[in-house]
Structure 1
């Protein structure tokens, strides 16, 4: 029987989950630990290292990439030791690395989870890199939908199955390494829609940075030194943040009896050997303002949804930073039994949901119109709200007549606030300057959910004009499992 893979491509770590199916059992399996989304390139040989293999290579001998997700917007094109290294080759290598870790499951098709406002250009770059590595992305799914489905589905083999089955309004609090993404979702008649969403660009990495600066300050005071953390070597900064992350994990793990830990760095720049004890109380004091800011983002998102706290059935915590004990204590005090803390590992909820959706895929539904404003003031809908996206995978043609003898026809697009306010809402089509030129628009949605419109005059078939819309709003029709 087949296996199904879901990948949560994170800013600092990625997770790979497999829904493994045999004649005897169906079970969710986690591939390795969360995998660092980093790369290091040897400046002499051009060899690329990923994940844990790149972790200890932050030296002058390597070109270090601290987040592969941030690489998506860059056009890296550089030679190292005579080897040409590009953005696409690095991302391809990372997907090959992930594929190697999951080689035992022999799966080439994946569902990839991405943030809910992930730009279409980034989707295209990821899809190309995955395909070069031998993966086929069956579909993208948004992280909040994947997290929701992991706890909504009745599919066997996952400890959180079906606990959101009877919930209508759910807040997904996804706090990872790079960002906090809060989404209020509504599930009605099996269709999940976003009611409100907010982001905070302050998460696990920022917490590690903050505590690292505090620890450095305490060590400097003991050593009688005044060197700032930013002036330490990059490797020393990295070492400190790595040790701080280990302390964070230890102080916020399942064993609540652990109330202190010790950081020891054998060669901390010109400080030499350094040791610093840190208590849970001190750790919490360093980061409490960040936690308060995160909870405020949740409050504002609920307020924007117009449901109020009373209208929220559950608040689901996912992402590594949601394990912080102080966060959970404060949220329990404020939200009570609405808070849903994963009994499993919150790092994996999104990847698990993506794997389950790979096994029983649902359908993306268009959540807005894409229309034309005609010369008589009426609106003509090219793409219709609440229709399945795949209905538009093949081009649909629409014919129009021109009402004057000008040499150009101007189409004005509408359907959402961002289109109406855009300076690029126009498509100009060259005509034969006849009063009743026949105009044809060809419309489709590609696999990255970009809307494409091709315009032409029937009498000038080779003169074509193009319009694209990359911000199509979609909701998701869940499978009936």
Structure 2
């Protein structure tokens, strides 16, 4: 077996493989065909993973619960954490789960499980991605490539349709939204299908609205309501580790209420009391109506993210041809109802394989050997509002052990007066591929600055810029000034990508129809924003130097006198103080323009 799909989730983990024309998910048949819980328990030298570890969390006595770790994925980025007094590495915890899930797949179907396409949330930071890759290596698994979870879900949904080819033709040039609300994160991706090329237009994700956070809200509210019914329990201490048991019961009740009208939450000996007449058990009958009342605020916040994402690119719900809803949270009737109101029954698809679809999508990507491609140009803002495409849309993203090296740029500083060279990286806000116009709005990816010699002449100080995308889909940017030798660096992980869908098409090539904005929509840059004016250029061109600065330099070095362009003349006049009163141009207190002489330095710019 060459490469398989691995969905390492915050709540559950799962492996899927493609055999022939079928995608098989290796679920745990002993527990109702469900994925493996991302839970690990350390009991002395024994490592317990999955459903058994989760069951210990919810029902065992003292000594074991303190050794249980739920969702170690959320701990990535930390060097170590203490589990029942023992310092443990989150990477090793993740490796233990990966090793267990891969071992279960090997027991089901013997084969080579050493390479995988692994899914990640859209907002997973670079440091956590590196830790996740290292954890898989510790488990003996090489990550062939990362793929965003919602993109994998959409790929798996389309690729697994029985009428796959006809659905692709129907959705060509259409917009699709993936609403993936799982246990750890809420991820959204807006995509378009162009000639078999599935491309991301915009992503949005957060970790504070995951299902686990919802479970905690339910837990705390159940305790409050139970104590309100039994006033004598107010202020009574909670038994050790009882909250962890209650959290597991709250999660179970939330799942049951997707199909039932009521569910009982029962935790024996929840309260630490021996007082006569006080029942230490916590018992609460939770109805669907009360559940929706408890979580209504967070549900509303999560659903509002749809409007925020669509609004950021000038879209509305009516522009979406398919909304794919995945993840455990979308099974809640209230969420289904709200999504139905937004998109209608014809355009809303609540995946029947909600817990499996991401893993299956990763497996189809691995099977098709679909290259991950950069969806949008990465551009460098230059002087005079010009831009240079540093990494082109359609560039193939590196797989394991590779680096996508962009050109190394040697830039000229056109205006060193403030002693800083300003570097801005941008991407088109919504237009993918290479069909981007100068007037299209941009989103800022990052801003860097390096010190330059403020006494150096124009176009003398150089800035070296090095950009590359590594195997973790992180854009590494390094800048260095050649004279002052100042350095700055950053990394960017919020990039958009695309996939060729099942070999039906490829990257958008020059000459293909450009992405069009929905008719009747206004989409423009926000007015009143403060813009950072770039002072860098790719070539030694004096027309790119600000007019007032070039004029001052040439006064000091008359032997280098060059004729100013009309724009530079206007800049010189605009920024030169009034010869009469010394005030700035267009200062209302300047009265020198009255009378017969006038003030010829008055210049109007169409900013």
What TM-score results when the alignment is normalised by the length of structure 1?
A: 0.79
Q: Paired residue for 1:101?
A: 104
Corresponding residue to 1:269 among 264, 268, 271: 271
Q: Does 1:350 find its partner at 2:351?
A: no
Note the 1:358-437 alignment, pairs <5 A: 358-360=366-368, 361-365=370-374, 367-371=376-380, 373=382, 380-390=388-398, 393=403, 395=405, 398=408, 400=410, 413-416=423-426, 424-426=448-450
Q: Paired residue for 2:580?
A: none
Corresponding residue to 1:288 among 296, 311, 318: 296
Q: Paired residue for 2:339?
A: 331
Q: Does 1:213 find its partner at 2:237?
A: no
Q: Does 1:475 find its partner at 2:476?
A: no
SS of alignment partner, residue 76 of structure 2: helix
SS of alignment partner, residue 54 of structure 1: helix
Corresponding residue to 2:73 among 60, 69, 73: 69
2: CA distance, partners of 1:14 / 1:90 = 14
Distance 1:28 1:428, change over 3 A: farther
Structure whose CA Rg is larger: 2
Please report how far the alpha carbon of residue 117 of structure 1 lies from its aligned counterpart in structure 2 after TM superposition: 2.3
Larger proportion of strand: 1
How many equivalent residue pairs? 455
Q: Paired residue for 2:588?
A: none
Please report how far the alpha carbon of residue 308 of structure 1 lies from its aligned counterpart in structure 2 after TM superposition: 1.2
Q: Paired residue for 1:142?
A: 148
1: CA distance, partners of 2:382 / 2:23 = 51
- Deviation per CA, 1:60-106, whole angstroms, max 9, x where unpaired? 5634433212211211066989x863233222222212222222343
Distance 1:427 1:122, change over 3 A: farther
SS of alignment partner, residue 132 of structure 2: helix
CA contact (8 A) 2:6 2:117 kept: yes
- Deviation per CA, 1:190-230, whole angstroms, max 9, x where unpaired? 1412235354722322332233233323433444434369x
Q: Paired residue for 2:186?
A: 180
Q: How big is the alpha-carbon RMSD for the aligned residues of Structure 1 and Structure 2?
A: 4.0
2: CA distance, partners of 1:334 / 1:169 = 15
CA contact (8 A) 1:15 1:347 kept: no
**Unpaired segments of 5 or more residues in structure 1?**
430-434
CA contact (8 A) 1:427 1:467 kept: no
SS of alignment partner, residue 389 of structure 1: coil
Distance 1:442 1:250, change over 3 A: closer
Please report how far the alpha carbon of residue 40 of structure 1 lies from its aligned counterpart in structure 2 after TM superposition: 3.5
2: CA distance, partners of 1:200 / 1:464 = 36
Please report how far the alpha carbon of residue 176 of structure 1 lies from its aligned counterpart in structure 2 after TM superposition: 1.2
2: CA distance, partners of 1:284 / 1:329 = 12
Q: Paired residue for 1:123?
A: 129
CA contact (8 A) 2:475 2:492 kept: yes
Q: Paired residue for 2:52?
A: 53
Distance 1:306 1:390, change over 3 A: same
CA contact (8 A) 2:476 2:491 kept: yes
Q: Paired residue for 2:548?
A: none
Q: Paired residue for 1:18?
A: 16
CA contact (8 A) 2:325 2:351 kept: no
Question: Please, which moves more after superposition, 66-75 or 267-276?
Answer: 267-276
**Unpaired segments of 5 or more residues in structure 2?**
29-33, 273-278, 428-441, 454-458, 504-607
Please report how far the alpha carbon of residue 236 of structure 1 lies from its aligned counterpart in structure 2 after TM superposition: 1.4
Corresponding residue to 1:446 among 470, 477, 497: 470
Q: Paired residue for 1:28?
A: 24
Note the 1:235-314 alignment, pairs <5 A: 235-253=241-259, 258-270=260-272, 271-314=279-322
- Deviation per CA, 1:129-172, whole angstroms, max 9, x where unpaired? 1012111111100111111111222x5xx679679633321121
Distance 1:411 1:85, change over 3 A: same
CA contact (8 A) 1:372 1:412 kept: no
Q: Paired residue for 1:432?
A: none
Question: Structure with the greater relative contact order (CA < 8 A, sep ≥ 6): 1 or 2?
Answer: 1
1: CA distance, partners of 2:198 / 2:351 = 26
Distance 1:77 1:115, change over 3 A: closer
Please report how far the alpha carbon of residue 37 of structure 1 lies from its aligned counterpart in structure 2 after TM superposition: 2.4
Distance 1:232 1:399, change over 3 A: closer
